[in-house]
């Protein structure tokens, strides 16, 4: 295990830094931070060169840009904490190098040569080491051969030190066995689900006093959440669609250009299976006709999937010489053999699609709506500048609605409920987001409505949580009381059944039919059982019974058996091995990190903030 960890460290610290940091063949440039100041700090007796910090920071920013898919300004990188992370990284590197130097760890020229030859970017077209490519790549990074090879010595020595630190670290077998046993232990249970139809006696009709008492005991259920009284003005293409004029001649020209879209010939949904010879295709057709095989089996026997042979929707002109054979079928079925560009083939017709002809008079409305919507969208966009100018000049939303095509509305809005007294503007995520962030005194501004219009809004009042009057929610009170009363009575019935079972009368003898469920794991989800059922099963002892209240009733749960995990199965060995490898790597990283932090405290860290700021200034340009 320790050997594997050493290999991981070696690959990470040598290849990552050598190839990505030094060679930089992904097109990243290098910046030379020359001048009088050559270091950004030191750890012990080891300096941290300015160029090392700059290159590492540059690479980290480029890597983040590649991940984000966009350019990341240095100001944003600072907000993300990238410079701080890189500075901590180079300080840790210096601490390890300083310790390796004190211990006398070093490598000879042969090892340096071997590492250089392993770098792919230093090879020529014939795959052998190319001295010119080597020197050119280093010049691109502002490095001399001597500097680079010295870095290799430092990297290799540091790797040796880290490998020594993590030597012998591995995940204890007892830990993997214990965790696997916990995770893969299963339960066999029996359950009885009691619903409203299982009530021993029907629910009585609740009187007014009962309902009033329930209402008063559960005010949270009938209290409206905090809401916001909002005035808004909005404009969408749909609002002005009828005002858009579309030229009739233009619609006819578009119809003519897209005639094939509105007038389609007879078509078939077809799959094609090609054979090497005519006789092989005919033999397959005869076998299908005799019932000895079917089309799907022939496809599978060829190692193909149905999508590999699917031609989709085709017309006569798409099938060439096979058209007559395929279109001769009057219902779905097999046609052929028939010729195809790839050879003799069988064709399976899955559907017959009739020819479709749509005259201009029938297509006109659809074309008109399409063009009108585009025009209306452009008209909405054209309103942005005028609306922004009005609001910037101090106009109210009411004035905006009176002077433009924006429509005024108001809504009593809650983030958890549909609008009360408003229309469907709160169906738009952009409106809901803006409404949630709105504060009293905010000036209205024009915002986009998820690509479907514009809006502006104003917060008029925040309405605190309000208990709804009993008369307005009486129906909800009755429903909630009935659900709670049903659950209470069924829970009591279930508890009585459990008590009787524990006294010697099995559930089956009480007219109940337990359902056996085997092999439940800790993360199992059983559709018809409450979520807490599985959790409860792993808390119980074999033979124990428990009642669990559910939304619509109650569940009787009995634990029948505890099944230990099979520690020796192929799956167990594979899972435990992978877990041990991952955790060993995690232990190794933690140990190296702790060791490095201890070195930093022992040796002391000196940072030249002016040099660090100079590097940052170069990036900010």
Q: Where are the domains of the chain?
A: 2-168+591-620, 186-218+474-563, 228-242+371-464, 266-354
Assigned token pair, 337:
């053999």
In whole angstroms, what is the distance from residue 393 CA to residue 97 CA? 64
Residues of the chain with pLDDT under 70: 1-37, 126, 244-247, 250, 255-257, 259-261, 263, 362-365, 368-369, 417-423, 621
In whole angstroms, what is the distance from residue 16 CA to residue 10 CA? 9
Kindly report the pTM of this predicted structure: 0.52
Examine residue 494 and say whether the peptide bond preceding it is cis (omega within 30 degrees of 0).
no
Query: Are 336 and 254 a contacting pair, CB within 8 Å?
Result: no
Q: What is the DSSP letter of 548?
A: E
In whole angstroms, what is the distance from residue 547 CA to residue 558 CA? 9
User: Could you tell me the fold of the domain covering 266-354?
Assistant: Chitinase A; domain 3 (3.10.50)
Query: Are 88 and 607 a contacting pair, CB within 8 Å?
Result: no
From the number of C-beta atoms within 10 Å of its C-beta (0-12, 13-18, 19+), residue 58 rates as: buried
Average pLDDT, the chain: 83
Query: Are 557 and 536 a contacting pair, CB within 8 Å?
Result: yes
Give the H or E element holding residue 176: helix 173-184
In whole angstroms, what is the distance from residue 216 CA to residue 389 CA? 52
- Specify the pLDDT at position 472: 93
Long-range contacts at 478-484 (CB < 8 A, ≥ 24 apart): 478/206, 478/211, 480/214, 480/218, 480/221, 481/206, 481/210, 481/211, 481/214, 482/203, 482/206, 483/551, 483/552, 484/214
DSSP 405-418: S-EEEEEEEETTEE
Assigned token pair, 111:
């090892």
In whole angstroms, what is the distance from residue 512 CA to residue 501 CA? 11
* Three-state SS sequence of 82-104: HHHHHHHHHHHHHHHHHHHHHHC
- Specify the pLDDT at position 424: 79
Q: Cβ contacts of residue 510 below 8 Å, gap of 6+? A: 497, 500, 501
The pairing of beta strand 227-235 with beta strand 407-414: antiparallel
In whole angstroms, what is the distance from residue 495 CA to residue 508 CA? 15
Assigned token pair, 405:
């095509």
In whole angstroms, what is the distance from residue 182 CA to residue 339 CA? 63
In whole angstroms, what is the distance from residue 431 CA to residue 270 CA? 47
Strand order in the sheet with 454-463: 417-420, 407-414, 227-235, 454-463, 447-448
The pairing of beta strand 417-420 with beta strand 407-414: antiparallel
DSSP 443-502: PP--EE-TTS-EEEEEEEEEEPPEEPPGGGSHHHHHHHHHHHHHHHHHHHHHHHHHHHHH
In whole angstroms, what is the distance from residue 24 CA to residue 364 CA? 59
- Specify the pLDDT at position 537: 93
* CATH architecture classification, 186-218+474-563: Roll (3.10)
CATH 1.10.4030 fits 2-168+591-620, yes or no: yes
From the number of C-beta atoms within 10 Å of its C-beta (0-12, 13-18, 19+), residue 562 rates as: middle
Query: Are 375 and 244 a contacting pair, CB within 8 Å?
Result: yes
- Specify the pLDDT at position 208: 93
Q: Is 167 helix (H, G, I), strand (E, B) or coil?
A: coil
| Residues facing 502 on adjacent strands | none
In whole angstroms, what is the distance from residue 120 CA to residue 134 CA? 10
The values of phi and psi at residue 77, to 5°, are: -60, -40
Domains 186-218+474-563 and 228-242+371-464 share a fold: yes
Query: Are 97 and 157 a contacting pair, CB within 8 Å?
Result: yes
Q: Residue for token digits 């939303």?
A: 397
Please tell me the CATH code under which domain 228-242+371-464 is placed: 3.10.50
Assigned token pair, 542:
């074999």
């Amino acid at each position: 295990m320790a050997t594997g960890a050493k290999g991981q460290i070696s690959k990470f610290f040598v290849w990552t830094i050598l190839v990505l940091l030094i060679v930089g063949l992904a097109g990243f440039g290098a910046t030379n931070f020359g001048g009088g100041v050559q270091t950004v700090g030191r750890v012990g007796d080891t300096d941290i060169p300015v160029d090392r910090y700059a290159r590492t920071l540059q690479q980290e920013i480029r890597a983040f840009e590649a991940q984000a898919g966009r350019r990341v300004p240095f100001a944003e990188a600072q907000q993300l904490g990238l410079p701080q992370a890189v500075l901590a990284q180079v300080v840790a590197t210096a601490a390890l190098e300083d310790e390796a130097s004190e211990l006398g760890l070093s490598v000879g020229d042969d090892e340096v040569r071997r590492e250089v030859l392993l770098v792919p970017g230093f090879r020529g077209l014939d795959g052998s080491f190319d001295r010119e490519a080597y020197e050119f790549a280093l010049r691109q990074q502002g490095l001399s051969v001597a500097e680079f090879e010295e870095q290799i010595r430092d990297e290799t020595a540091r790797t040796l030190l880290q490998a020594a630190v993590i030597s012998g670290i591995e995940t204890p077998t007892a830990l993997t066995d214990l965790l696997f046993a916990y995770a893969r232990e299963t339960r066999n249970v029996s359950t009885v689900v009691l619903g409203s139809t299982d009530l021993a006696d029907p629910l009585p009709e609740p009187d007014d006093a009962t309902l009033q008492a329930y209402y008063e005991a559960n005010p949270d259920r009938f209290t409206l959440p905090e809401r916001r009284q909002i005035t808004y003005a909005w404009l969408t293409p749909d609002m002005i669609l009828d005002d858009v004029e579309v030229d009739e001649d233009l619609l006819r020209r578009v119809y003519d250009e897209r005639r094939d879209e509105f007038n389609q010939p007879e078509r078939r949904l077809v799959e094609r299976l090609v054979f090497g010879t005519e006789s092989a295709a005919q033999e397959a057709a005869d076998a299908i006709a005799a019932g000895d095989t079917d089309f799907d089996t022939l496809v599978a026997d060829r190692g193909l999937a149905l999508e590999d042979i699917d031609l989709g929707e085709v017309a006569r002109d798409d099938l060439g010489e096979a058209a007559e054979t395929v279109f001769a079928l009057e219902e779905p079925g097999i046609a052929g053999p028939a010729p195809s560009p790839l050879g003799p083939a069988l064709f399976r017709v899955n559907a017959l699609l009739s020819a479709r002809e749509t005259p201009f008079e029938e297509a006109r409305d659809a074309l008109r709506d399409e063009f009108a919507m585009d025009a209306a969208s452009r008209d909405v966009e054209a309103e942005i500048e005028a609306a922004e100018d009005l609001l910037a000049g101090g106009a109210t939303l009411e004035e905006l609605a009176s002077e433009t095509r924006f429509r005024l509305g108001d809504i009593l809005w809650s983030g958890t409920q549909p609008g009360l007294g408003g229309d469907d503007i709160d169906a738009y995520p952009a409106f809901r987001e803006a409404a949630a962030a709105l504060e009293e005194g905010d000036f209205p501004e024009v915002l986009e409505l998820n690509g479907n219009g514009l809006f502006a809004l104003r917060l008029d009042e925040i309405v605190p949580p309000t208990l709804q009057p009993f008369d307005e929610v009486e129906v909800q009170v009755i429903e909630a009381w009935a659900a709670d009363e049903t659950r209470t009575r069924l829970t009591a019935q279930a508890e009585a059944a459990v008590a009787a079972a524990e006294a010697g009368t099995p559930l089956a003898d009480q007219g109940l039919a337990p359902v056996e469920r085997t092999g439940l794991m800790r993360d199992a989800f059983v559709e018809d059982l409450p979520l807490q059922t599985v959790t409860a099963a792993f808390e119980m002892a074999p033979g124990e019974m428990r009642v669990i209240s559910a939304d619509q009733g109650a569940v009787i749960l009995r634990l029948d058996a505890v099944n230990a995990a099979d520690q020796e199965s192929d799956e167990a060995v594979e899972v435990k091995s992978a877990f041990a490898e991952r955790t060993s790597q995690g232990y190794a990283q933690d140990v190296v990190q702790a060791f490095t932090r201890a070195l930093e405290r022992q040796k002391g860290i000196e940072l030249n903030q002016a040099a660090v700021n100079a590097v940052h200034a170069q990036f900010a340009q």
